Structure 1
């Protein structure tokens, strides 16, 4: 016989009471925001009143907020469409049923019944999800971790940092560890550790932060799986959504990236369509987004305003100190530095070829490549580096190097090489110049925007001979090298404070 486990009715009753209380609390928040008087009503009566208001409203934001209050989750575009159409078909008397039927699927598959919600009103909300959760610090993360801390101690710049909860159904407050990753990357206050994995029970009682009458700044390129939910926020919630626009490389140079990267970026562009403003990190990056926006009228859309807010070109005091602690030894071979994540468009193969040819010519130097990458992208390159090293060439490739070690390499480098085929900005060039190190770099796009102020030799990155010639000149021509160093010394790098000020002014406008 099959044994039957008895039901503890007291436990079930307690659970139902808790769910009812949580729902009542969320709906009360919604009612207050929509100016609906629900005093003295039961949760079911409150929901009925709100459903009637949402049905009669011409504003999609009322329905968006009702969805959040009922489910404890942010709706997707499709889920908003389902709710809207159900309410259009409903009568006032059946609006409650329409709302319940439209949200039943979500409520049955998410652990959100006991959640509380808080409306974050009339402020700037900054989505820093990736920087908050991961110990990774390349281009985009450097921008966020330099920019956001500049706003922390300014009472005139009220804002709230948020990340996505574990099941990516809503925003939540950052933990202390996550705030440390974002705000104190160069001076960590807490020991590094992984974020804990929440249980279903913990997910069920999370506190969800809900943007309301606010500006939502997407400071990173969001993960693929939240782009649709963010698009729903931009389209329906009434919040204004701004983006920092880094580049459109996954589409305009799709031949250099895995297909999945281009597909993910295409979904990101759906969010771009409905955002208020894109803050391009260079004029080159802005032009890419302007090109996309110019195609939107064919879809009946206006698209966002695109403005250029060029990134800072300074490095942190920590970086300067680390670079200053070392210096080239007079008798040592000159060091050539090539920094950047390893992928085809970064053109490291061309730099390695140029170095090999110069080595065969008899020039003495040590070349160091720094930057991670997928195994597919790095395998051939690393094999070639190993082979050249065995033949006596001083060549290294570091896939994982700490910031202190990286800045130390700049301290001993004679020059750096960054001949990328396409960049949104080109932080390795800016950082090299900020540390007084001349650069061989490309002669177009965002790299030209940085290099034209001086301190660089510019080349066509598709011309191997031009790269070889530029590297040879910087290895052998001390007068040229000194002239470029002097050019750099006269520059006034744009500070991260200045960049943060410009972004804030654009977001708060």
Structure 2
């Protein structure tokens, strides 16, 4: 059986990319192979299977509205139970039964509450251990991240180097990780494999929407945390210019504000709303509500400065909706294959693309057709590639190869 560490996702209501990937990967991997989620219970000092509360959380969290707080929440009962068990066992570290698991997969960014206890878990399991790497933004651009994440990140990178292999979610993320290890002067790190992400939906059930006639007031959707890195500023400046020119369209933003860099974006949004422009901002949405926003929109915009992957763009294309997007970071892996207008991350470039999309009658249907006819990876594709990687590592270990 494969163990999948979901210590954070089993206790967090956040709907950000890492949580979506971690939860979706568990569902897909359990469809493909014998696998289950585990957590590190810091109160019990134990690696263990999920309890009933954690299983219910993973089952129902997608139906709940997203929240700003990303921290994991442990109930009072879980804390008291854990401390009682830890005292009962003399506070020794408890590991899974020997032979229960054949490998370990860690899809989350792990903090100091989990990282120090991973080596003992890997040693107990004995089989291959693979971590998923999302991006190095906290290391390369510390001004854009949460202070505690930025402070923790160098040690996290060192702990990643203890795995048998790392699966980066894009070619850009793979290159970034190798560069980070070189900057930290880490010698002989494990191999890094670029394994492109996929979407959380059943295979062969693509939610493709027909293009349809152009509405009187097309709606442009942007799904992203409100923060400097996502570059709402470029979209909002471009939209204001075009509104002042008399073009008819609406902008719909979905996302919670970032605790550190979100305030200027929120101020810009509120100023445009107070000026009477057709700008809607919703916070976090549950999965069903977000699906409806994608179905209703005419196109999406994603002018991000830097991405480990860029799931909202792939989601847009999955619905057959064109995307105005940059190709920074992991976006470069897939945005040039149809359905996208690729822009630079500045207001002028976004404005030019928006004007073309709104005023050139043939452009939108052409992009819709490209989006509808391109292949879209799913989480099952991602899980299958990871399963194959784990199998290859297991074969190499059994043969005594490094």
* TM-score, normalised relative to structure 2: 0.84
Structure 1 distance, partners of 2:54, 2:379, is: 21
Query: Per the alignment, in what secondary structure is the counterpart of residue 341 of structure 2?
Result: strand
Report what 2:108 is aligned to.
220
Residue deviations 1:224-276 (CA, integer Å, cap 9, x gap): 33222325655898564310111111111223224332112122112112111
Q: Is the 8 A contact 2:169 2:197 kept in 1?
A: yes
Change (3 A) 1:148 1:177: same
Structure 2 distance, partners of 1:313, 1:478, is: 30
- Is residue 298 of structure 2 the alignment partner of residue 414 of structure 1? yes
**Which protein has greater RCO, CA pairs closer than 8 Å, 6+ apart?**
2
Structure 2 distance, partners of 1:237, 1:140, is: 24
Report what 1:163 is aligned to.
39
1:98-497 aligned at under 5 Å gives the runs 123-154=1-32, 157-167=33-43, 169-182=45-58, 195=75, 196-199=77-80, 200-204=83-87, 208-210=94-96, 212=98, 214-231=102-119, 240-294=128-182, 298-299=185-186, 301-313=187-199, 315=201, 332-461=216-345, 463-497=346-380
Structure 2 distance, partners of 1:318, 1:203, is: 47
Find 2:382's aligned residue among 499, 502, 506: 499
Q: How much does 1:179 deviate?
A: 2.4
Report what 2:395 is aligned to.
none
Residue deviations 1:426-450 (CA, integer Å, cap 9, x gap): 0000000001110011134311212
Q: Is the 8 A contact 1:366 1:394 kept in 2?
A: yes
Change (3 A) 1:153 1:425: closer
Structure 2 distance, partners of 1:355, 1:231, is: 50
Report what 1:59 is aligned to.
none
Query: Per the alignment, in what secondary structure is the counterpart of residue 334 of structure 2?
Result: helix
Q: Is the 8 A contact 1:145 1:183 kept in 2?
A: no
Structure 1 distance, partners of 2:143, 2:189, is: 27
Q: Is the 8 A contact 2:15 2:284 kept in 1?
A: no
What is the RMSD computed on CA atoms of the aligned residues?
3.1
Range with greater deviation from structure 2 (255-264 or 359-368): 255-264
Structure 1 distance, partners of 2:193, 2:360, is: 41
1:91-102 aligned at under 5 Å gives the runs none
**Greater Rg, structure 1 or structure 2?**
1
Structure 2 distance, partners of 1:165, 1:328, is: 51
Structure 2 distance, partners of 1:393, 1:328, is: 25
Change (3 A) 1:212 1:307: farther
How many residues are matched?
A: 376
Residue deviations 1:199-226 (CA, integer Å, cap 9, x gap): 2325545894437574321111112332
Q: Is the 8 A contact 1:139 1:427 kept in 2?
A: yes
Range with greater deviation from structure 2 (212-221 or 439-448): 212-221
Q: Give unmatched runs, 5+ long, in structure 1.
A: 1-122
Q: Is the 8 A contact 1:186 1:318 kept in 2?
A: no
Query: Per the alignment, in what secondary structure is the counterpart of residue 274 of structure 1?
Result: coil
Query: Per the alignment, in what secondary structure is the counterpart of residue 243 of structure 1?
Result: strand
Residue deviations 1:335-388 (CA, integer Å, cap 9, x gap): 011111122111111111111111111111110111113344333322322221
Query: Per the alignment, in what secondary structure is the counterpart of residue 78 of structure 2?
Result: coil
Q: How much does 1:279 deviate?
A: 0.4
Q: Is the 8 A contact 1:126 1:162 kept in 2?
A: yes
Structure 1 distance, partners of 2:317, 2:23, is: 20
Q: How much does 1:139 deviate?
A: 0.6
